[in-house]
Structure 1
Amino acid sequence: MSKTLDGKRIAFLATDGFEQVELTQPWDAIKNAGADVVLVSPESGTIQGMNHDEKADKFKVDENAGSVSAENFDGLVLPGGVANPDALRMCDDSVSFVRDFFKQHKPVAAICHGPWTLIEADVVRGRKVTSWPSLKTDLTNAGAEWVDQECVVDEGLVTSRKPDDLDAFCAKAIEEFAEGKHAQQTA
């Protein structure tokens, strides 16, 4: 039986402090749709998940952000959590990795605080997005049109606000990853 994402390879970029459910629920949904999922991080070994402000599980990193290329993946997922994207946006390798998905017109999905890394990669200008409400001003100042909606899709960029939006986020991310490259998805 063929699955929607058979033959696709999807990167999840995260570091310590990611909101655990914002990694695990999309991971499971995308893997169950047939994709090969890969945890990429600027850290090696394991990274620490969070359930809001409480430590959750640790996850084994598959690839280092400094040694991977967007050209080896069909899409990217950016989980939220406050500490995770704040650290990622300070890591040149992570920011370049994100930006390259846009340069290569590949779909990207970011939830909650995940769009902070998109701001640093300078890829939200002129795009309609959503996020955790506290990022509204940051995204607007970076040139995005921020809306308060469960899930927003803009030319291969999927964004959602919070864990309550994960069902819609996962469905749209799978749809965009299945569709593949978007000519208008640019850095």
Structure 2
Amino acid sequence: MHVLEQSLPRDLRDLRRGIRRRTIYQHTVRSDRTTLAYIERVTTEGAEVRTLAEVADRIIVFDRDLAFVPFSDEPHRALRIQHPALVRLLARHFDEAWARAVPVHPERVPLRTPVVTSDPQRTILQAVVGGETDESIARRLGMSRRSVAEHVRRVSERLGSNSRAQLGCLIATSGLLSGLLSGLLEA
């Protein structure tokens, strides 16, 4: 059974008891049917869900008094943090990520077409300008290397680039990073 399916009854019970829940996922979940079904169920009960391009470390903050940071190598164990300064730092980190994140509205997301927002596209292009490889970009964004390479190929073709270095220069000087990129990458 999928982890989200296992946690759904507990999460719905908590939401019905009035517990506020805000969750940030990666943009890549916007094309995952199971996750979208979970998001649709919890948002109808009052949860808020947003997505970001970057892979984010998981943190759980309760009432800004207590935080947990799960161990990556032991999924059922976590570091319990009660020091006020550390909890404040983690809460502020979450709030900053929340402000950058894009709200998820499952009823508006077509389940057959992967959704690509301007945020991951912008992140990919900024990484190309910064000299990152497709592999490192993919790892950071939680995407396949082939997906990143396809985004890069489309932009390279549109801008008439002959090399990765030239592409980085063209992106940096073209003004692409200041505007919406969806038209450039969707065609």
- For normalisation by structure 1, the TM-score amounts to 0.26
| Rg larger in structure | 2
Give the alignment's TM-score, normalised by structure 2. 0.26
